[in-house]
Structure 1
Amino acid sequence: MAADIEADGDASSSAHRVHVPLEGRSYDILIGPRLLERAGALLAERFPGRRFGIVTDTEVARAQLPRLGASLDAAGIAHGTIVLPNGEATKSFSRLEEVVEGLLAARLERGDLVIALGGGVIGDLAGFAAAITRRGMDFIQMPTSLLAQVDSSVGGKTGINSPHGKNLVGAFHQPRLVLADLDTLDTLPPREFAAGYAEVVKYGLIDDEAFYFWLEANRRAIFEGGPERAEAVARCCAAKTRFVLADEKETGVRALLNLGHTFGHALEKITGYSGRLLHGEGVAIGMVMAHAFSARLGLAPGQDAERISRHLSAAGLPTRLGDIPGEIGGTDAIMDAIAQDKKVSRGALTFILTRGIGQAFIEKGVDPGAVRSFIEDQRHT
């Protein structure tokens, strides 16, 4: 089933709408400028009489919360705010408890809504808190990072990290609305924007060779904020929606969205979610490794990994293990982290491999010895 991109007639001509037609739980993804300024009117129309609990982090609270707060105030919408520290370490049990208790202390009822205002960390955490508070509250994603706008805010995957690995505790809980305000991307540090771009590239590498080639031709315009940026976000959201409609709970084809993530999540874990390696940076390295590993197995052309590496490097992303600052430990540490990947089944490793750009596939029962040998070689290149 395809997902259509439509012009949003209620906003400027550069706005887009992607509809997610899940049975009984459909929602819209609105993409465009000044959506935070329009949020109050949109929420008052779609959710009349509701109260809202905003979950955000310190950086987003400084840069974006005043815009949203003023919009809600102007619409006469009651709201409160929970502000958490910025960074991957916030996706923890202790912060989850803080959010849940904050929502309860604010006396938000089951019919009220949680707003996740922030990047992927806040979206995952606030969405999971909504899923379990009062046995399930509705929530709205207002993603403020490129990574969140093109990937994590869409599809209902919510959760937190465990000491055993990334995103191992969570729930599938679809949002009621996604507002992707493109203006928020203008305030991102260059490193964070680049990290989000890795997830943009991912959609081309999975099954859309033409989109990947379009990205090679339009990368500069996307980074500079031209209309190509809005188009890229909309195309990614439409692609993500297509996978969600085909496989909402990730029991099959949706796993393709994890291209590069098995390696990437392992690298995030062994760097301690410390900020040395952002999620998108781990994915960038992981995607190059996935293509190189596929070539090593005789599945894909050898030049693909190098071509992708050049593109990601030009975007300011790391592409090799040696690009990670500081020590990352040995091969055993990486293998141990891979063994905790969510796609592991009965101890057997599952990887997203490729036969070429735009030709990713799911491979179960991958030989751990082959992975170990490949990682060992990668550590010395």
Structure 2
Amino acid sequence: MQRRRTILATAAGLAAGPAALAAPAVAQTQPEVRWRLTSSFPRTLDITYGTSEYVCRLVSEMTDGRFRIQPFPAGEIVPALQAMDAVSAGSVEMAHTGGLFFTGKDSALAFSTTVPFMLNVRQQHAWFFHGGGNEMLNGVYRGFGIHALPCGNTGNQMGGWLRKEIKGVEDLRGLKFRVAGLAGNVMAKLGVVPQQIAPGDIYPALERGTIDGVEYIGPYDDAKLGFNKVARNYYYPGWGEGGAVFHSLVNLQKWSELPRAYRAALEGACTAAATWMLAQYDWKNVEALYGLVAQGVQLRQFPNDVLEALYRATQEVLAEQAAANPRFKELLESQTAFRDRHYGYHQVLDYAFDTMMLRLRRASVAAR
């Protein structure tokens, strides 16, 4: 009789469909948690802001809707450049942003996103996840009551937009240029007047002439923001950002209160977002760049003497910051050793492969 009742109960559950079986017993025992996330990016930037939405959706799905995070674009709760303050104060539980926006609080936070002439995207990914990078950075964030999770990468960025052509170092002097992080300190040494402006406010500043140029991310976002309508010279390479890592910043107390399963869900979602964001940019930047060139944008490479001057200025800035900040020095030494060791590897593999393919493709086109 007992066996018959068990079979009937199982059959009834199956007949009720997936809804009756969807929530495992472990999920039913977990508390319901509701968080808010403030982004440093406007809703119009569908990749950077979309990454927040992607993370929130994954967390909800992985916890059967019991842990839900509601994302808000820049300005709806706090301005873009106050996202870290909001998390630190507990005004919101979480933010999606870049540490380079907050180097004024601690210069070591530059390594949270990117440092000029340092790591490429592949190297960043390895250093953050397996080279101890994020653990070291969380030693910095802990002082602000924050736990940080890598959550996206833009890939190598462009060098920026300028109204006038840059033919040498002298052409940089006096330029008012929107740039974030330590790249601004570097450019200041060459006479540039750096401006840190939130993403959603850049175009009006460029249009009004408040700034002479801007470095943001790359072709897809830059075209969305309309920079090509004002400045026609588009420079590469992105010497200041070989790759740019964004983070989910979580209030440390709220993080420690989360059940272990919820922490794992959030970590997993942020790690997935690192691939999701990079793939989005690698897919969409290609056609965006071709489209900008077709519209008459002048694609220009920085002259070598400019890049060499920027490199020398970077070494000065890094030495100054390392002398003033022991945490900066520790992170710099870690990244530098990692970079220098790994470039030997990448030269044998990735660089050699890309160089080979470019040579063969050119030869094939020339033979047609």
> Relative to total residues, which structure has the larger strand share, 1 or 2?
1
Provide TM-score, normalisation by structure 2.
0.29
Greater Rg by CA: 2
> Relative to total residues, which structure has the larger helix share, 1 or 2?
2
Provide TM-score, normalisation by structure 1.
0.28
